[in-house]
Structure 1
């Protein structure tokens, strides 16, 4: 197994998940800043590992598998923490949409890979925009406190709603790209019966 710098950054992101949980529940006033910092740093490593992989051609099969897993685990954990500390129906809905879409798209990608058509559901630009909005939203929601009079938490709530809507849009785009293969498999299944 080839261990590249991007793979080590991805592993570091996974290690930061229990750190995020621990810091979030510490009984100090600065924990919101620390939790936001841990999440923002993890988000930065997500960008950095991709940049290094592309810039210096440091790709590995293990890294390609682990990177999206690390991202989804970090985001899901942060969303669970946020919903637990702010249990509103809207916050729960946005979190459920984001986590549910991630599970559905992961399953779709795995199935398309089995068909040899994984490239049809490669990450699109709308997915990248969704990721940026989502990462900023989660960071703001973890931070919570106003900055220079700006309602950071409220801005984070609106950005999370936007991320959830972008999540639905990008999920639809992935499904639309995979639809011809899905229909073909459905017809092949019917014809073989």
Structure 2
């Protein structure tokens, strides 16, 4: 349980309240500091997976905790940007992204219960969605107008939303046979 990858995942979970508190501090650079903390969490997400494979330290606990940590910090960031920007152009994609995460997590759990977890394992499109989503959130959280970070954040948020819906549809199609078999 106390492997380096799992410790990095615990670190990411511990960063969530720090990220939220720093983002809302009454300080000129609070949003940029919050975006940096979110970036650090995103990097540890990649790094813990890499180390788990490289050091052969994959564990069932890590396989459970890693996606939970990701979903918690992303949900916090999505809620924060909906509050910061207070516009339908952010709120609608945020709701779609969070809804997709709940749906796909539930689908994976249900498929695993029926011994079909390989049918809905992470795909290229799911990974592409995660990359676009993380970059979008960093740009939107930072509120940097320099180098068009916010504009890029908006664009990537919509790219992530399209990829999110597409990958959800892929997972649903892949699971359809099992769903029909057990949903009677």
TM over 0.5: yes
* Bin for the TM-score computed over the shorter chain: over 0.9
> 2-side partners of 1:98 and 1:29: how far apart?
29
What residue number does 1:83 align with? 82
> 2-side partners of 1:152 and 1:123: how far apart?
28
> 1-side partners of 2:148 and 2:63: how far apart?
38
Q: 1:179 aligns with which of 172, 176, 179?
A: 176
Larger Rg: 1
> 2-side partners of 1:182 and 1:74: how far apart?
30
User: Which consecutive unaligned segments of at least 5 residues does structure 2 have?
Assistant: none
> 2-side partners of 1:106 and 1:62: how far apart?
16
Partners of 2:24 and 2:31 within 8 A in 1: no
> 2-side partners of 1:116 and 1:155: how far apart?
41
> 2-side partners of 1:75 and 1:88: how far apart?
18
How many aligned positions are there? 184
**Aligned runs of 1:140-179 on 2, under 5 Å?**
140-147=139-146, 150-179=147-176
CA drift at 1:184:
1.3
CA drift at 1:32:
1.7
- The CA RMSD over aligned residues, in Å, is 0.8
> 2-side partners of 1:120 and 1:15: how far apart?
32
What whole-Å deviation, never above 9, does each CA across 1:54-87 have from its counterpart, x for those lacking one? 1111011111110000000000000101101111
- Displaced runs of 4 or more, over 2 A: none
CA drift at 1:151:
2.1
User: Which consecutive unaligned segments of at least 5 residues does structure 1 have?
Assistant: none
TM-score calculated relative to the size of structure 1: 0.93
What residue number does 2:106 align with? 107
